[in-house]
Amino acid sequence: MTETSLEKQIGAVAGMIARSSDIVVFTGAGVSTESGIPDFRSPGGIWTKFDPEDFTIDKFLSSPQTRRKQWRFLLESGLFTSAEPNRAHRAVAELERMGRLRAVITQNVDNLHQKAGNNPERVYELHGNMAFVKCLDCSERYALESILWQSMSGPDVPVCKKCRGILKPDVIFFGEMLPPEVLRDATNHARSCDLFIVIGSSLVVYPAAYMPAYAKEAGAKLVIINMTPTPYDMDADLVLQAGAGDAMEKILAGVRTGQS
């Protein structure tokens, strides 16, 4: 793609945003990689360093050794406590401040949309949020950082302070269903928006990847911004093969210019 054609596409997306008042943004790992969080599935990602079998709900519940591995990973990586929002996150937050964004639907678990300034009530986390830990017995919820400090102070896997139950990162493990209320609300937003923007997702993980189909079937415009092709490219009104941060920064600059 030439620089001129990319500029035209960026201008076209800015125009679509300017004409929309009911936008839903859908984000995947390609947004978070720019904050230093590796893609789980790509070469060099998490699954090349850890066995995905250790992240099944059955093994987590049945194996204290597996739980120790998980807490060791969280302690040593620091991925989800030190990461900061990047240009793409900040651009999505700006869409909300402009009054154009209805919802963010995300496959990511890093809490970075909220850190960037999006209202948590507008962020629908299909796969959970790694910033929190939940007790599987009494449902008490803790900030991850407070539990990590507890882990550092002793050799054992941390347990619930309230009931001594098993603590689990508040994310969806293999073998778990997506949270039904979140999935329902995200689906409703996808089916009633006028512009659906995919940023940094390969759109191959279901049921999350059904969201752009719901939007398109309901008559919304569909924009896909991703470094590699996706199964939905043929259905999209516009596809940008570009980095999330650079593309969104330029698109928002175009929206601001159009408003001035």
| DSSP assignment letter at 159 | B
Q: Which two tokens stand for residue 129?
A: 């949020």
Looking at 89, 113, 127, 189, which residue is catalytic?
127
Alpha helices in the chain (DSSP H): 3-18, 29-32, 57-62, 64-77, 79-82, 87-97, 112-116, 144-152, 180-190, 211-217, 244-259
127 tagged catalytic? yes
d(Cα 172, Cα 128) in Å, to the nearest integer? Answer: 6
Taking residue 128's Cβ as centre, other Cβ atoms within 10 Å add up to 20
| DSSP assignment letter at 107 | S
Q: 180: exposed, middle or buried (C-beta count within 10 Å: 0-12, 13-18, 19+)?
A: exposed
With b meaning 16 or more CB within 10 Å and e meaning fewer, what string describes 24-46? bbbbbbbbbbbbebbbbeeeeeb
- SS3 breakdown of the chain: % helix, strand, coil, rounded to 5? 45, 20, 35
Q: Which two tokens stand for residue 241?
A: 């093969």
Q: Which residue matches tokens 């407070």? A: 146
Q: Which residue matches tokens 């300017």? A: 18
Q: Which residues are marked as active site?
A: 127
